[in-house]
């Protein structure tokens, strides 16, 4: 995709309206598909009872989704370069709709897992498509506002997933989680088939099969290994944890070496020259830390609320809802502030708030009042809202247009790996510390609270690195990307 974003004033009225329509369709569709990433968490106990399966087996509904996302996203850079906007959108939404139908009709766990995998393929294509399209169509001076809408999709959809799931499960069967989503997905597909147009210019991108294999083994191995740690606190069922982690790490090193060699001839599957932009690298590191905190909190807070404080699934979902709504309300405001003042004045206080809340969560006990937890979650979401839009906008804005699709794929991949790492790290630390405390004679409730404190302590320490990095985030300067690293030079 080599089109350069024109200024807003230079666009004819018809073309500007077309662009707004395409972006709106992509935003709505991406919200629908991303929502499914966290919708299963609250539902696992219901599924275990209804399908008669163990917790480790049911956990594959989440693990398989993350694994597929991590494997498919790196390949989307190639897809977005070779194809027009319309066929990529149709492929993504048709795949997601098919996966949703399979889940709704699934007679048992294996077919349900298959449906989740098919859903994840569509989800993995949509996110980079949305980001690349916006970076191509929206001029730099208006990107903050538009990226604010992306932040709603990325942050609010996963945040309200558990709430929606809890509400549905309080009155309906688990299949309705998919039955209710299906007409929305089909509606997006039909509307896209009717109204979406091609707004980007495809170019030839070579296909390297070895890069695909290394990508699958590398990112897939890491996410599988990390998810296994999270499932069983280091006592993974099936393969020992170290095997997929080692395979993933070795394959990832080989993948990086392969891409470094291929990008000299503009043949890389995932062009790593994106990291030649210092600002992009800083933004990716901060996004990784933020996703670790986000997914770690999303997995631990429901456990704490239900297993320590005794709330039910619906109460838990409703308690987490205000934070998600705050993220949604703040995202457009943060986007406008970015356009006016730049990223630093947003990212620094945002990182500080996230760190402050994580340090506060290290003090949670079995008697912590619910209003304090509610306030802490809202402040955490506020801090994340202040960070996401500036980091996406500044990071991708530091790249030349030729690398937008690769940058979007890198960001999407890092999100999935960091999300899996956050889930694995927090759950493993919680489980390990809780087991030690129970061995010392503490009750299960007190031990669980102690384990959660230990997990949040790790997150709090990690957050300090994000606070330091925040001071180095600046608005992208024109011509700052090294000329020798631009494809074609």
Spatial separation of the C-alpha atoms in residues 180 and 141, rounded to whole Å: 38
Spatial separation of the C-alpha atoms in residues 400 and 119, rounded to whole Å: 31
Q: Which tens digits make up the pLDDT trace of 282-340?
A: 999 998 888 887 777 777 887 888 888 888 777 877 888 888 788 888 888 998 899 88
pLDDT at site 9: 46
Instruction: Report the share of the chain in percent with pLDDT over 90.
Output: 20
Q: Which residues of 146-163 are buried (b: 16+ CB within 10 A; e: fewer)?
A: bbbbbbbbbbbbbbbbbb
Spatial separation of the C-alpha atoms in residues 25 and 77, rounded to whole Å: 20
pLDDT at site 478: 65
Six-digit token string for 263? 């990008």
pLDDT at site 119: 93
Q: Show me where the domains of the chain are located.
A: 12-485
- Report whether pLDDT(252) > 50: yes
How many alpha carbons fall within 13 Å on the CB side of residue 252? 18
Residue 35 CB neighbours (<10 A):
21
- Report whether pLDDT(237) > 80: no
Spatial separation of the C-alpha atoms in residues 74 and 124, rounded to whole Å: 9
Q: Which tens digits make up the pLDDT trace of 361-371?
A: 999 988 889 99
Spatial separation of the C-alpha atoms in residues 183 and 101, rounded to whole Å: 10
pLDDT at site 17: 75
- Report whether pLDDT(485) > 60: no
pTM: 0.77
Mean residue pLDDT across the chain: 82
Q: Looking at the domain 12-485, which fold is it? A: Growth Hormone; Chain: A; (1.20.1250)
* Residue 401, burial from CB neighbour count under 10 angstroms (0-12, 13-18, 19+): middle
User: For the residues 175-201, what does the mean pLDDT come to?
Assistant: 84
- Report whether pLDDT(5) > 60: no
Which has more confidence, 35 or 258? 258
pLDDT at site 12: 61
Spatial separation of the C-alpha atoms in residues 469 and 414, rounded to whole Å: 17
* Residue 400, burial from CB neighbour count under 10 angstroms (0-12, 13-18, 19+): buried
Spatial separation of the C-alpha atoms in residues 156 and 408, rounded to whole Å: 19
Residues 338, 341, 343, 345: is their CA dihedral positive or negative? negative
């Amino acid at each position: 995709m080599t089109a350069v974003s024109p200024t807003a004033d230079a666009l004819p009225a018809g073309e500007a309206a077309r662009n707004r329509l395409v972006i709106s369709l992509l935003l709505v569709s991406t919200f629908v598909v991303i929502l499914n990433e966290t919708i299963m968490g609250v539902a696992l106990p219901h599924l275990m009872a209804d399908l008669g399966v163990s917790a480790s087996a049911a956990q594959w509904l989440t693990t398989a989704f993350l694994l597929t996302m991590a494997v498919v996203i790196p390949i989307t850079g190639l897809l977005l370069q070779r194809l027009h906007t319309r066929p990529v959108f149709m492929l993504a939404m048709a795949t997601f709709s098919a996966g949703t139908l399979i889940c709704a009709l699934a007679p048992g766990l294996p077919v349900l897992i298959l449906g989740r995998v098919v859903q994840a393929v569509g989800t993995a294509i949509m996110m980079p498509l949305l980001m690349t399209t916006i970076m191509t169509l929206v001029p730099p001076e208006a990107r903050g506002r538009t990226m604010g809408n992306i932040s709603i999709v990325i942050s609010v959809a996963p945040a309200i997933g558990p709430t929606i799931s809890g509400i549905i499960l309080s009155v309906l069967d688990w299949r309705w989680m998919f039955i209710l989503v299906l007409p929305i997905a089909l509606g997006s597909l039909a509307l896209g088939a009717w109204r979406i147009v091609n707004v980007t210019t495809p170019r030839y991108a070579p296909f390297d099969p070895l890069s695909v294999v290394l990508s699958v083994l590398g990112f897939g191995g890491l996410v599988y290994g990390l998810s296994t740690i999270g499932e069983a606190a280091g006592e993974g069922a099936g393969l020992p944890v170290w095997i997929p982690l080692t395979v993933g790490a070795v394959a990832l090193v080989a993948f990086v070496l392969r891409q470094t060699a291929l990008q000299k001839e503009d043949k890389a599957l995932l062009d790593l020259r994106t990291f030649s932009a210092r600002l992009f690298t800083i933004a990716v590191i901060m996004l990784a830390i933020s996703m670790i905190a986000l997914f770690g909190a999303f997995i631990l807070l429901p456990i704490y609320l239900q297993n320590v404080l005794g709330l039910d699934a619906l109460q838990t979902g409703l308690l987490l809802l205000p934070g998600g709504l705050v993220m949604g309300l703040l995202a457009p405001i943060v986007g406008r502030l970015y356009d006016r003042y730049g990223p630093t004045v947003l990212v620094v206080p945002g990182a500080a708030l996230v760190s402050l809340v994580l340090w506060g969560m290290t003090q949670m006990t079995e008697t912590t009042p619910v209003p304090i937890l509610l306030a802490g979650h809202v402040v955490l979401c506020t801090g994340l809202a202040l960070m996401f839009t500036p980091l996406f906008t500044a990071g991708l804005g530091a790249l030349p247009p030729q690398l937008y699709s690769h940058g979007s794929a890198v960001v999407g991949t890092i999100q999935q790996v960091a999300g899996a790492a956050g889930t694995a790290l927090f759950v493993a630390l919680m489980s390990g510390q809780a087991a030690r405390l129970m061995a010392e004679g503490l009750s299960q409730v007190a031990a669980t609270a102690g384990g959660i404190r230990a997990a949040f302590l790790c997150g709090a320490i990690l957050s300090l690195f994000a606070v330091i990095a925040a001071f180095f985030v600046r608005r992208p300067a024109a011509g700052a990307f090294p000329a020798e690293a631009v494809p074609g030079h």
